[in-house]
Amino acid sequence: MCITNLSSSFAQLVDPKSYVVIPPESSESEIISRAAGIVPSERQLRWQRLELTAFLHFGVNTFTNREWGDGKEDPAIFNPSELDARQWVRTCKEAGFKQVILTAKHHDGFCLWPSKYTEHSVKSSPWRAGKGDVVKEVADACHEYGIGFGVYLSPWDRNNELFGTDAYNDYFVNQLTELLSGYGRVDEVWFDGANGEGPEGKKQVYDFNRWYSLIRKLQPSAVIAVMGPDVRWVGTESGYGRETEWSVVPGDELVQGKVAASSQKEAGFAPMNMMDDDLGSRSKILKAKSLVWYPAEIDVSIRPGWFYHPEENDKVKSPDKLMDIYFSSVGRNGVLLLNIPPDKRGLLHDSDVKALQGFRKSLDKAFERNLLTKAVVKASGKKINVLTDKNDATSWTPKASAGTAVIDIKLEEMEEFNMLLLQEDIRKGQRVEQFSLEYFADGEWKKATSGTTVGYKRILRFPIVRADRLRLKIEASRAKAVIAEAGVFKLKVKS
């Protein structure tokens, strides 16, 4: 397959502050301090702060009731009766999603915009008499509602006869150019690694560097995700990220062929590095020749399939399940990319809309009352006021240079709680390696919960405890911890 060494192109593609080459013979402490100094680019920071992003899988598969089209579909089948992109975007926005990504072209090659370079598109369909453009309607709605807009453009194309030849790269670049220059601002470009050709199928050598430099030129603030240098696929499609999730990982592991193969599940490739339990702990980075800021995106569908299937209307994930996914994705230093597929009418189905509304309600309720807001929070006897100001750009850092620190908390009164939220100021890097929350009860300090990484956001749930004195311990950190936010909450748990 495509063995382009992504690390060789990193130097040109990523922000210099997000990538470092480790000189040979570096000591452990030198490597760790370099790792602690790597920070996200502006585009990665913006993306990380979105927390919730939505995927919209829509296309010929919606009408054939399939997951992967073969590219032989008659464009005439694409005929949504009530398509309303504003309903898609509004519903997502009201549920708290800050960006949507549309499948402009899935593996079947059918384009949701009237591309000049193929007939396999909306222009050959009866929808809006062949004059429609779904990409435009979604982009306009996102811009109108003030949320981000992203495009998914499948590299694997089962319709285009050029696929498997050099000329396909020109075709692909032409399509990318249309998408990146005709629809205003684009915030994310998502390249899927999936390819079901199998060992005997067509082999395409992708010209990644050409794609990447085109994106940087036409949409410099867009992140390039999955088969790209800015955003990493977390390694599953379950909605659950890792307990230990480092945004700084070895750069030399990022050989493009591996990145591609690790999302080629259907093609039967062996699971590769993206699926490891641990990508960035000391044991991994001490062997690295380079390190890079490469944060995790967690994609999952609200339904069993990625595309809409009427028989799945009663299998939409419940608000409780979506909450669990939120805690295990956003709450584990990731950005959630939740897929909500429009139906054959071209509307988000009522079952999905209700689930999203329920999710939003539960989310608001969960974070309604931060017990630390009215508490006295101190370190080394000095008051800290910035941890509950809901501003991730104000932070506290311990005076001493050690990797450990203790924050003492005195609540207004005895309270029950079962959830901890922590945020590092990632503009300074990701540093915390081990932390715990303790509470004072029955004359002694007891552990409520503990964790490893924090990163942009970490949320831990634990069995309910009751106390008015707490202490938050940073037990190990790659450099002085820089804590932006902290919270202790009581989450209603269904019995």
Residue 266 Cβ, how far from ligand FUL at the closest point, in Å?
6
Q: Residue with CB nearest ligand FUL?
A: 194
Judge contact between 111 and 168, C-beta under 8 A.
no
Residue 357 Cβ, how far from ligand FUL at the closest point, in Å?
24
Instruction: Specify the residue, 97 or 306, whose C-beta has the smaller distance to ligand FUL.
Output: 306
Residue 485 Cβ, how far from ligand FUL at the closest point, in Å?
31
Phi and psi at residue 317, in whole multiples of 5°? -65, 140
Instruction: Specify the residue, 261 or 409, whose C-beta has the smaller distance to ligand FUL.
Output: 261
User: Angle formed by the axes of helices 134-145 and 85-94, to 10°?
Assistant: 40
Instruction: Specify the residue, 35 or 102, whose C-beta has the smaller distance to ligand FUL.
Output: 102
Residue 63 Cβ, how far from ligand FUL at the closest point, in Å?
16
Residue 321 Cβ, how far from ligand FUL at the closest point, in Å?
19
Residue 306 Cβ, how far from ligand FUL at the closest point, in Å?
4
Instruction: Specify the residue, 256 or 263, whose C-beta has the smaller distance to ligand FUL.
Output: 263
Instruction: Specify the residue, 232 or 457, whose C-beta has the smaller distance to ligand FUL.
Output: 232
Instruction: Specify the residue, 64 or 450, whose C-beta has the smaller distance to ligand FUL.
Output: 64
Residue 138 Cβ, how far from ligand FUL at the closest point, in Å?
16
Residue 137 Cβ, how far from ligand FUL at the closest point, in Å?
20
Instruction: Specify the residue, 108 or 415, whose C-beta has the smaller distance to ligand FUL.
Output: 108
Instruction: Specify the residue, 62 or 263, whose C-beta has the smaller distance to ligand FUL.
Output: 263
Instruction: Specify the residue, 176 or 377, whose C-beta has the smaller distance to ligand FUL.
Output: 176
Binding site for ligand FUL (CB under 6 A): 67, 192, 194, 263, 299, 306
Judge contact between 244 and 283, C-beta under 8 A.
no
Residue 342 Cβ, how far from ligand FUL at the closest point, in Å?
14
Instruction: Specify the residue, 110 or 435, whose C-beta has the smaller distance to ligand FUL.
Output: 110
Residue 352 Cβ, how far from ligand FUL at the closest point, in Å?
16
